[in-house]
Amino acid sequence: MPMIDMHAHWRPAEVADALRARTREPRILKNDAGVEVLKAPRMGEQPLAAAFDEVEFHLARMDRQGVETSVLSLLGSFCWVESQPLDISGPLCRKVNDGLSAICQKHPGRFAAFAALPLTDMEAAAAELERALDLPGVVGAQIPGNLFLTRKDAEAARPLLEAANRLHAVLFVHHGPRPGDSFPKVSGDTDNARRRNGTLDMQASLSSVMVTLCLTDILADYPGATVVVHNLGGNIPYEIERMDHRCLLDTPDEELPSSRFRKAKVYVDCNSFGPHSIEAAVRLYGAERIVCGTDGTEFGTDWTHKALADAEIGDAAREQILHGNAAALIARALKPAAQLAAE
């Protein structure tokens, strides 16, 4: 069964001129040898030939690894475009989204895209989401997880939720900062900084995101929006038994969190996790709420294929996760608004 990859990050060359104009990393500059390089925090220097993604390279990898469709979204180190003042972020996000749509148009069925949004102005972000959803191949937007760390934080996202609800779009919630947030939490000179930031903090933050999305009423007014959280929604599949236990002790009249997570309509992807974690997620959420994610890399795709092959979840659940669930989400997001209204 071919895979649909809902979590495939992209490094667009459309931002090259803006990177040349920057005085802070990430930026493009000439190194001591006079060669233009992309210099980014924790990534060192990359020659421009390797700094941006190329469609033909990714198509060849997708064909080789059995990926039918990749849903493209900005790589985290390129999300700086979204946190700039509106006069900068607005044009940059439009250029990125137009470029992603052009890829989708040139290769029908092979790519879809999550839009980049100017997040310093939520009304402008919602307007760009609406504009982008009129572009071929765009199925929604990627938005930072810090928007949903708490119910109070999530209030700022209402313009995006309203637009996604009205247009039946997908919001891909990815671990990351809002404009102005201090990020990452752990400095590079701390021991095991990559493990602390890339696993401990990321997964804890995503768990908080899922608590907000599934255990509060923030999504109640937006049944037309689809929300996908990456990395199995944090550590919830492993923490749910303790959460239920605490609920029975502290608030015994309250519906168990496990029941509320199961009823919620939030999807998760299985990026970066192995078979045992996927099994736990299927037990909690149900296979119908899980999609594939790979980060859009060769290693990530091999990892996800093997994790799903080794997971003891049955062939029907495996097919849902590999293909069926994502195909339905993409098809719904791409339907004309008038057709959706008639259904």
Terminal CA-to-CA distance of the chain, rounded, Å? 29
Q: Give the model's pLDDT for residue 40.
A: 84
Residues 124, 88 contacting (CB under 8 angstroms) = no
Residue 61 inside a domain? The answer is yes
Q: Is residue 258 part of a domain?
A: yes
Domain count across the chain: 1
Q: Which residues contact 115 (CB under 8 A, 6 or more apart)?
A: 93, 96, 97, 100, 128, 129, 132, 133, 138, 140, 141, 142
Cα–Cα nearest to 334, from 179, 226, 188, 174: 226
Residue 25 lies in a domain: no
- Per the structure block, which two tokens stand in for 212? 């907000």
| Per-residue pLDDT at 62 | 97
Q: What is the pLDDT of residue 33?
A: 84
Name every residue whose Cβ is closer than 8 Å to that of residue 261 and which is 6 or more positions away in sequence. Answer: 210, 214, 215, 236, 240, 284, 285
Residue 18 maps to a domain: no
CA gap 136, 62 in Å, rounded: 21
What is the reported pLDDT for 216?
Answer: 98
Closest by Cα among 264, 259, 192 to 227: 264
Two tokens, residue 211: 């608590």
Q: At 8, phi and psi to the nearest 5? A: -125, 105
- Residue ranges of the chain with per-residue pLDDT less than 50: none
Extract the runs of DSSP E, i.e. beta strands, from the chain: 3-10, 27-30, 36-40, 44-47, 67-74, 111-115, 138-144, 170-174, 226-229, 267-269, 290-291
pLDDT value at residue 341: 55
* H or E, element range at 239: helix 236-250
SS3 content of the chain, % helix, strand, coil (to 5): 55, 15, 30
**Residues spanned by the domain of 314:** 3-13+53-342
- Structural domain contains residue 78: yes
Helical axes 236-250 vs 202-215, angle rounded to 10°: 50
Could you please report the per-residue DSSP string of 115-180?
Answer: EP--TTSHHHHHHHHHHHHTSTTEEEEEEEGGGGSSHHHHGGGHHHHHHHHHHT-EEEEES-PPTT
Q: Can you name the residues that pair with 290 across neighbouring β-strands?
A: 268
Q: For position 240, which CATH number holds? A: 3.20.20.140
Query: Would residue 20 count as lying in a domain?
Result: no
Q: What's the pLDDT at 244?
A: 98
- Whether residue 184 is preceded by a cis peptide bond, meaning omega within 30 degrees of 0, is yes
Give a yes or no: residue 19 inside a domain.
no
Domain membership of residue 39 (yes or no) is no
The confidence score (pLDDT) of residue 186 equals 87
For residue 31, the model assigns a pLDDT of 87
- Antiparallel, parallel or unpaired: β 3-10 and 170-174: unpaired
